[in-house]
């Protein structure tokens, strides 16, 4: 259910774009994102900061796209989002000496500090890469190509998240068959 909820707006955007064009697709994306966030709020009784930022960017860049009848705004929204994430994570790490990933996820995952540091660096690199890649496609390719990239480009975050899961799995505490912590490898 969660994975369907994550892909709900982009799938509806893609379908609306294919049948009705970028402007209807943008309106559908905006509405679907509001519905997605309302559903997340109904389930979790809160929205995480990333949800709020995503919603704000979709609504602002979508509104600009529709009001100015200029598709460049919606095409550049992912670049702005990823670049902002990379800058925020890097600034927090190097200027504030804080690991935002650990702050956000530390209550859910118990990992050694060096693993949190590596994950943060990986997220910075990933977000910078995705910002550059989307910017490249948005600037140099047609809207049709960009929409196709958006749909099929979801392989990048899936591979990235899967890679992270594999990486951190060795550091997670497991439970034995009696439900007791089995201890971690401590690597």
Residue 177 is predicted with a pLDDT of: 38
Residue 164 is predicted with a pLDDT of: 92
Q: Residue 185 — pLDDT band, cuts 50, 70, 90?
A: very low
Q: What is the pLDDT of residues 56-72, one digit of tens each?
A: 999 999 999 999 999 99
Query: CA angle at residue 118 from 115 to 122, to 5 degrees?
Result: 135
pLDDT at 181 over 60: no
Residue 183 is predicted with a pLDDT of: 46
What is the overall mean pLDDT for the chain?
A: 87
Cα–Cα distance between 99 and 119 in angstroms, integer? 9
Cα–Cα distance between 122 and 163 in angstroms, integer? 10
pLDDT at 122 over 50: yes
Secondary structure element (H or E) that encloses residue 175, with its range: strand 174-175
Least confident of 18-22, 83-87, 183-187: 183-187
Cα–Cα distance between 77 and 34 in angstroms, integer? 16
Does the pTM exceed 0.85? Answer: no
Residue 179 is predicted with a pLDDT of: 39
CA 139 remoteness from chain centre: 21
Cα–Cα distance between 10 and 70 in angstroms, integer? 19
Secondary structure element (H or E) that encloses residue 15, with its range: helix 2-20
SS3 54: helix
Secondary structure element (H or E) that encloses residue 126, with its range: helix 113-140
Residue 20 is predicted with a pLDDT of: 96
């Amino acid at each position: 259910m969660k994975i369907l909820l994550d892909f709900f707006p982009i799938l509806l955007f893609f379908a609306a774009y294919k049948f009705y064009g970028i402007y209807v697709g943008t309106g559908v994306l905006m509405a679907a994102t509001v519905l997605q966030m309302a559903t997340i709020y109904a389930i979790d009784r809160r929205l995480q900061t990333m949800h709020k930022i995503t919603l704000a960017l979709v609504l602002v860049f979508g509104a600009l796209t529709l009001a100015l009848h200029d598709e460049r705004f919606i095409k550049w929204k992912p670049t702005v989002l990823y670049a902002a994430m990379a800058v925020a994570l890097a600034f927090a790490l190097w200027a504030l000496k804080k690991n935002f990933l650990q702050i956000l996820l530390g209550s859910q995952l118990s990992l050694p500090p060096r693993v949190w540091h590596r994950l943060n660096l990986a997220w910075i690199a990933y977000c910078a890469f995705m910002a550059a890649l989307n910017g490249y496609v948005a600037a140099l390719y047609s809207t049709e190509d960009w929409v196709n990239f958006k749909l099929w480009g979801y392989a990048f975050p899936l591979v990235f998240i899967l890679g992270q899961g594999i990486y951190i799995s060795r550091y997670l505490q497991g439970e034995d068959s009696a439900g007791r912590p089995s201890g971690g490898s401590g690597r």
